[in-house]
Amino acid sequence: MAGRQRAALYAGSLLSLAALLPPLSRLADQRLSLHMLEEMLLLALVIPLLAYGASPLLPDRAGSWMHPVAGIAALNLVLFGSQYPAVVDFAVKNAAFREATQAIFILGGFLFWSPIVSRNGLSAIAKIGCLMVAGVPPTIPGLTLALSHHVFYQAFGSLEDQQVAGLLLFGTAKFALITGTFVILWRLLTPQPEPPDRDDRAAQRGDLPPGAPAWLERLDDELPAEAGRLRLPVPTPTQIRGHG
pLDDT at 164: 93
pLDDT of amino acid 201: 47
How far apart, in whole angstroms, are the C-alpha atoms of residue 128 and residue 133? 9
Q: φ and ψ at 16, to 5 degrees? A: -70, -40
- Distance of CA 231 to CAs 167, 187, 223, 234, 237, Å? 77, 47, 15, 9, 19
Residue 200 is predicted with a pLDDT of 47
Q: pLDDT truncated to tens, each residue of the chain (244 aa)?
A: 678 888 989 998 898 888 777 777 778 888 899 888 888 888 888 999 998 888 878 766 555 556 888 888 998 899 889 889 999 999 888 888 988 898 899 999 999 998 888 877 788 888 888 888 888 888 888 888 999 899 999 888 789 999 999 999 988 878 887 888 888 888 777 755 555 544 444 444 455 555 555 555 555 556 555 555 555 666 666 665 665 5
Looking at residue 211, its pLDDT comes to 52
